[in-house]
Structure 1
Amino acid sequence: MPHLLLTALVSVSFSFGFSCQLANAEDEVEIALIDDNDFQRGFVVWSPKPGMKRETGKLAPLANQGEPVWGLAQWHSRFDLAQSNISPGLMRYAHEAKSVEFDFSDPAGGTITLGLEGMTEYDGKAPERGAAWPHLLVERQLLAHPSLTEIASVPFRFSYRLIQEEWHRPEGWDAERHTAQFVFYITVQNQNPQSAGFRDFLWFGVPIYDTRYRHNPQRAAIDFSTKHKKGTGKFIFRPDSNHFTDQSAQDGRWITIDVDLLPLMKEALTKAWELGYLTDSRDMQDYHLGSMNFGWEVPGTMNVAMQVKGLSLWATR
C-alpha cells in the first residue's frame, strides 16, 4: 500500500493552468500528464530511511538526456541501491536485494525491469505481523492537475510482464500476510484552497499483481499505520482487475492495460463519501489529479521482478 513519504508528492503547486496540445477532434484537447515515458533520463534515488526525502544518487542510463523527472523510492529497505555502481551509462543497477535494468533496444520504446528480493531483505526469516516492508517505487508529480469535472477522460496505457516469482516459505510464513505486490497508484486530491478539505486526498489504484490472487479483488480500505511503518491514513480505492484485463500476471506473459480511468476515479470518490471519508467536501469539482507511483511493495519472503513498458497517461477536455 502507499507510503507516508508520498504525501510530499501531493503538496503541489495549486495553479490550475496546464500545457495542452490539440488532439484530432476539433473540440477536444489532450493534456499530457507525464513525460519521459520510457525513463531515458533515469531516476533520482531516495534514501531508504523514512522521513524527509533525501537523494542518495542518480541512475543515468543514457548521456545528455537532462535531469531525471522520476524518483525511485526504496522505503524501509535494508539496502541503498545508490551504494551500487551507479556510474552513468549503465543499463543495469543492482545492490544486494534490489535491481533496476533499462533496455532501449526497441525503437518503439524502452523497457525497465524492477527486481526486489524479499529473502535477502528479511534475511531469510518470515517478517512478523506489523513489520515494515521494503518498497521499490517509481514516482513523480504529474505535469498537470486538472479537476475531475473539467476533463472528459483519463486515457491510460501500461504494459507489464512478470519475469520472476520465486516463493520461499520459512518458519512463520503466513499466506495472507506474506506477499509481494506490484502496485500502481494515482492520487486524487482536493486542491480548492477555499475548501475545508483542502489538500486531503485518496489513493486510486490500478491492480497489477499480487502473489495471493490470479485476479485482484476490489480494495476499499485505509492506508493504516503499524508500530514499525507509518501510513498516510488516507482512503485507498482499487477496482477489481476485471475492469482492466481478463489476463493474470502470474502467467508470465505481456499484458497491456488500455482504459479510461476517469469513471473509476469518480467511483472511488463516491465510495469514499459513502464510507465517511473526504467528507469536508463532496464537490467533485474540488478534486484534481495529483501524483503517481508504481512498483514493488514486498511484505513477504518472495523474490520478484517485473518488466514494464509503454506507459502513457493523458487527460482530455
Structure 2
Amino acid sequence: MLTSLMMLAAALGQAPGADRSRELFADPTFERGFMLTAASHPVPKLLIGELRASAGPDAGPPAWRMPQWGTRELLQPQRSVEADGRWTAENRAKRVVVDRSGAGPVGLLLEVRGDFEYDGRMRADGEAWPHLLIEQLFERPIAPRDFETLTFAMEARIPSCDPASWAADKLDPGRHTAQVSAFWTVHNATKGNPDHRDMIWFGIPIFDARHPIPPAHHALDVGKDDASGKFICLIDGKRFWKTPTGDGAWHRLEVDMVPLLREALAISQSHGYLKATRFEDLAIDSFNLGWEAPGPYDATFEVRGLSMRGGGE
C-alpha cells in the first residue's frame, strides 16, 4: 500500500506527505507595497497612490491597501528608501516598516501615534478614530466550502502601547482604547437566497489595551457615520492566546478557520443575522489587519509570517 501511495504521489509530482495547500493571500511578503487610502470614505478619490520600496523590480501594482481612516496626517505616495533590508515610511501620525533584514519571515511594523492624532483632546461618542491597517480584497471571493482547511497563520507582538501623558486619567474603557484584530468580510454568495450579498465581519482579536487577552465581541458595526451597520462576530481571544498579548513577546497563531466560520455563522444567526444562510453559501470578500485607535495611545504592532492557506481543494 505504501509503495502504491508513493507511486501515485510521484505521478502527481508530489512527495508523499507533501503540503498540497496553496497560499490565498496575494503578495504575502509585501514585495509590491501598498495602495494608500484617503482619510475617509466615500470621497472623490478614495485611493491616493502607492507606497513601496524604491529598490527591486517593479512587479506590478500593490495587492494590499493601507487604510488610514480618521487620521490627521496622511502618509503620502512615495518610493521609500531601503537600507539594510528595511524600508520605512513615516510622518507625525504613524510609521510603517517592512523588514527583510533577517533570515526569517518578512516582518511588518505598524505604529500609531495617538498623542499627535488627538492633540490633547479626548474622542467623543460618534467621532471617527484613527486606523492603520493592511487590507486585501479578493478578486475571486474565497468559498470556504471548497476547502477542507483554511489555515490562518502569523506571529505577532506589541512592543509598546502607552496612553498620552495628558490622557491617563481621562480614559473611558467604553470609548477609548487601541486594538488590533484580524477581520474578514464574509457574505452570502447564493443568488436567490434571501440573504444574498448580506454579510458579517468575522474576526480574531490580537490585542486590546483594556484587556490582558481581548474578549469576544458580538455587536453591530456602529459608532461613526460611515460604519457598515453589519454584525461583528469577534471570537474570544482566550481561544487563541494563553498569555497576555501585550507583553512585548512574539506570539504564534495557526488556526483552521473552517470550524470557526461555522461557529461565527451560528452566533450571527442566534443574534438574528444571516438566518437563511447555510455554511455552503458563504464567501470571503476581504481581509484586514492592524490598528484601530479610538483612544490617544502611542502603540506599535509587528507581524511576520502572515499566511492564509487553503487545503484539500
TM-score, with structure 1 as normaliser: 0.85
Describe the SS at the equivalent of 2:149.
coil
Residue 202 of structure 1 corresponds to: 200
Whether 1:124 aligns to 2:155 is no
Q: 2:49 aligns with which of 39, 57, 65?
A: 57
* CA RMSD in angstroms, aligned pairs only: 2.3
Residue 70 of structure 2 corresponds to: 76
Whether 1:277 aligns to 2:273 is yes
Residue 309 of structure 2 corresponds to: 314
Q: CA deviation at 1:165?
A: 1.2
Task: After superposition, give the CA deviation of every residue in 1:164-208 in whole Å (9 maximum; x if it has no partner).
Answer: 212225364313321001121011111122222221111111110
**Could you tell me which amino acid in structure 2 is paired with residue 39 of structure 1?**
F
Q: Please show how residues 230-309 of structure 1 align to structure 2 within 5 Å.
A: 230-279=226-275, 281-309=276-304
Describe the SS at the equivalent of 1:87.
strand
**Larger Cα-atom Rg:** 2
Q: 2:109 aligns with which of 96, 109, 113?
A: 113
Task: After superposition, give the CA deviation of every residue in 1:147-180 in whole Å (9 maximum; x if it has no partner).
Answer: 3333211111111111121222536431332100
Q: Name the % identity.
A: 30
Aligned length: 292
Pair 1:175–1:196, CA change in 2 (3 A): closer
Q: 2:32 aligns with which of 35, 41, 48?
A: 41
**Could you tell me which amino acid in structure 2 is paired with residue 34 of structure 1?**
F
Describe the SS at the equivalent of 1:74.
coil
Q: Distance in 2 between matches of 1:55 and 1:256?
A: 32
Q: Distance in 1 between matches of 2:16 and 2:136?
A: 29
Pair 1:249–1:27, CA change in 2 (3 A): closer
Q: CA deviation at 1:245?
A: 2.0
**Could you tell me which amino acid in structure 1 is paired with residue 113 of structure 2?**
E
Which structure: greater strand fraction?
A: 2
Contact 2:159 2:246 in 1 (8 A): no
**Could you tell me which amino acid in structure 2 is paired with residue 212 of structure 1?**
R
Q: Distance in 2 between matches of 1:30 and 1:232?
A: 33
Pair 1:133–1:164, CA change in 2 (3 A): same
TM-score, with structure 2 as normaliser: 0.86
Q: CA deviation at 1:273?
A: 0.9
Q: Distance in 1 between matches of 2:271 and 2:23?
A: 32
**Any gaps of 5 or more consecutive residues in structure 2?**
1-11
**Could you tell me which amino acid in structure 1 is paired with residue 152 of structure 2?**
F
Q: CA deviation at 1:63?
A: 2.6
Describe the SS at the equivalent of 2:246.
helix
Q: Distance in 2 between matches of 1:153 and 1:265?
A: 11
Residue 4 of structure 1 corresponds to: none
Pair 1:28–1:304, CA change in 2 (3 A): closer
Task: After superposition, give the CA deviation of every residue in 1:248-291 in whole Å (9 maximum; x if it has no partner).
Answer: 22111011101111111110001111111112x22221111221
Q: CA deviation at 1:101?
A: 0.9
